[in-house]
Amino acid sequence: MDSELGRKKAGLVFLPVPGRGHLASTVEFAKIINKDNRFSITILNMSTKLPGRPPLPASTRESITSSGLDISFVDLPPVETPKETAVEAFISVFITRHAPLVKDFIIRLQSSSSSSVRVVGLVVDLFATTMAEVGDELGIPTYVYFTSGAALLSLMLYLPTLDKKIESEFEDLEGTVDVPGLGSVPPLVMPSPVMKKKSPAYWWFVEHGRRFRYMRGIIANTFRALEPAALQAIEEGRYLPSDSDGPTPPVFPVGPVLVFEEEDPSHPCLSWLNNQPPGSVVFLCFGSMGALPDAQVKEIATGLERSGHKFLWSIRSRRTPGFAPPVDANPEEVLPEGFVERTKERGLVWPSWAPQTAILSHEAIGGFVSHCGWNSSLESLWSGVPMLTWPIAAEQRLNGFELATEIGAAVEMEVNYKDPEAAVGAAEVERGVRSLMGETEAGKRARDRARQLRSASRAAVNPGGSSNEALTRLAAQFLSTL
């Protein structure tokens, strides 16, 4: 190593998807890996003109800038908006169009006479695997930051093989699908993008899974005590074809990576919870992009009212097509007449996004009706709160299945996956809520398991924990190429 390189600081370039779940988690991970400022990190923010995806909040940038961490943000110029309508295909094409911009930025960063950085890693989103070509051209190792769990990672790694083994559509398949580390999976709980082989979304899922195999490493937002079987299957290369001897990239389970919102104790949701008994309230929230049809909202309301349990319900509505996020709901329009008045003594309807992490950590919360997005699932387990699974899109079906059957910290809602437009009836909502809140043995087991994982998740990130050690190994691997 010459003296000039010896003086350079190890640089990491992050490329997250500009959607709340992916972007916030990636930024938080950047803060964690750079907590002692060993790296100079640049987070590339892709075009703010992506429909329905607002730019990174100024407050987030300001808080990081003022923290003293060597993390900076660079906005890339806009690119042509893709015409694909499937979300996963749209995002994959959208990211690929940024390749020349990412390459140009890294070249300028390293060639500047004033630069004190040598890029030792390109860390990309799970939908940005095509960026490995940029890394290869520049001689920079490419890593994937996988924002979901090891079960989905195992499936995606296995999907190129599964694609050749199963000729029919997964939605038409009889029996089960064997996924390494997860066992026999009902075909209808496979991620929605892979249900139709002729769809562009399916093709991209297979392609990303194939490219994962050739990354320098995969950084996963999970922890060993949560998904031991899936992580072991990946590390042993059980997703590979029988005639293959590799490669198996190293996997670094560094989770749970959680984004804790700045808590406002005076928020109406928290103020209301302060007056409720411990463990008595069921919280309903369906994610940053989650909004249910008005007819379904009415069924939920009826089921909640019949259940007799206290509830806090974050309701949002979808008023525009495409990728735009939901908007604040009007309770008078979507709820049954008189519902709010009849349940005012035991329930609160909040017609907007709620401070989820603060709510889940409140002692009054006893259960979480969730869409099973991975970030929300980790937040719930961090607080020891069991879940009632209500998947809506993407990989949430697989997450819900794993949470209920493999992990054991959730109760399954009976959702008609063959007809996603079919509403879940009030009777099923009532049954699910009663079970979640401990009225059945299944609910009691889920509550006990959630409490166990509360301790395990904290132990993982503490000094000596499995995720802390994985983070140490990852940092050493980054620095080894300096």
Q: Is the separation of the CB atoms in 404 and 412 below 8 Å? A: yes
Please indicate whether residue 125 is annotated as part of the active site. yes
Residue type, 51: P
Exposure class string for 184-204: b at 16+ Cβ within 10 A, else e: ebebbbbbbbbbeeebbbbbb
Q: Of 98, 125, 208, 362, which is the active-site residue?
A: 125
Q: Is the separation of the CB atoms in 186 and 398 below 8 Å? A: no
Separation between Cα atoms, residue 404 and residue 388, nearest integer Å: 9
Provide the annotated active-site residues. Answer: 22, 125
